[in-house]
Amino acid sequence: MKKTISSPGKAILSVAIFLFSTSVRAQVDKHLGEPIPTDPVFASRNDATVDYLTARRNTRNETSNMKGTPYFIADWVSGVVVFKGNKLLNSNDPQFDWVKNELHTRYNGQVYYFDDSVIEFVLLDTTVEGKSTEILFRNGYPAIGTHSRISFYQVITGGANFELLKYWARHDHDSFEGVGTYVKEFYRVADLYLYDLKNNTIQYINLKPSSIERAIPATYATTVKQASNAIAGKKYSEAELISLVQSLNSL
């Protein structure tokens, strides 16, 4: 995995009213507390650049005649975007289109996607009253299956040794609307992946202990086996898997 930001560790990116911590791509101090620019200005139609951030209108919509939403969060939210070269954008209008696996933004009421290469972003989910949840997405992982190095994964937990990731994919089915009436509907499903920082490998996993044991190097076998023996069921819960990854990152 390319190291676009300095060595592993923890640093804080200030995002106006909230902070979030990254465990792998630590940000150098010169950017802390100074996301730039505060308001994005995009390229004009004649390609004359009016600021260093550019974006293009989003015109593709493969799900326009289907039920379902391609947006990860129902509302447009605030967040921070990290571009290649570690440029930061504090944005009031980011949104993740999980169907296209693209980060979108709004400008003058229209939906755009960035020309600049995005390497990670955080969405601040405030749709539940009285609660704020920071959701981190990142790319740059080794290619696997149909996923490339620019594919975004949600980072569930991370640290010095491993990152637990989710890749959100689309599932289509027929939805019953009434007597003899069906419509096409889509919804998102998550696949789990484990990224090994030291070996720069990524593997698909499920919640079965055997799957997790195969994905983790033998040097951690004792810790993994103890965790597998301690779980209540035949499969890990997501919370138990997160706890295991966090324990492996503390070793």
- Domain boundaries, position 32: 11-205
Same domain (yes/no): 175, 126:
yes
Specify if 171 maps to a domain.
yes
pLDDT of residue 193: 98
> Does residue 194 fall inside a structural domain?
yes
Residue 68: predicted pLDDT? 73
Residues 200, 227: one domain? no
Residues 55 and 153 in one domain: yes
Within-domain flag for 124? yes
| Number of domains making up the chain | 2
What pLDDT is recorded for position 174?
72
The string of DSSP letters for 76-93 reads: --EEEEEETTS-EEEES-
Is residue 1 included in any domain, yes or no? Answer: no
Residue 64 within any structural domain of the chain: yes
Helix (H) or strand (E) holding 42: none
Establish if 177 belongs to a structural domain. yes
Q: Which of the residues in the chain have pLDDT under 50?
A: 1-52
178: in domain: yes
191 and 249 belong to one structural domain: no
Inter-residue contact 130 to 122 (CB < 8 Å): no
Same domain, 130 and 213: no
Same domain, 223 and 181: no
φ, ψ at 113 (rounded to 5°): -125, 150
- Tokens 């991370």 belong to 158
Co-location of 191 and 213 in the same domain: no
Residue 59, pLDDT score: 63
Q: What pLDDT does residue 92 have?
A: 83
Do 225 and 179 share a domain, yes or no?
Answer: no
Q: Which residue has the tokens 């640093």?
A: 11
- Please enumerate in sequence order all residues whose Cβ is within 8 A of that of 180, keeping only pairs 6 or more positions apart, or say none: none
Specify the pLDDT at position 215: 96
Confidence (pTM): 0.77
Q: Tell me how crowded residue 195 is: count the other CB atoms within 10 A of its CB.
A: 25
158 and 226, same domain (yes or no)? no
Domain-embedded: residue 5: no
**Helices 221-230 and 238-249: angle between axes, nearest 10 degrees:** 150
Same domain, 214 and 189: no
230 and 189 assigned to the same domain = no
DSSP 3-state percent helix, strand, coil across the chain (nearest 5): 15, 40, 45
The one-character DSSP state at 244 is H
Indicate if 46 and 114 belong to the same structural domain.
yes
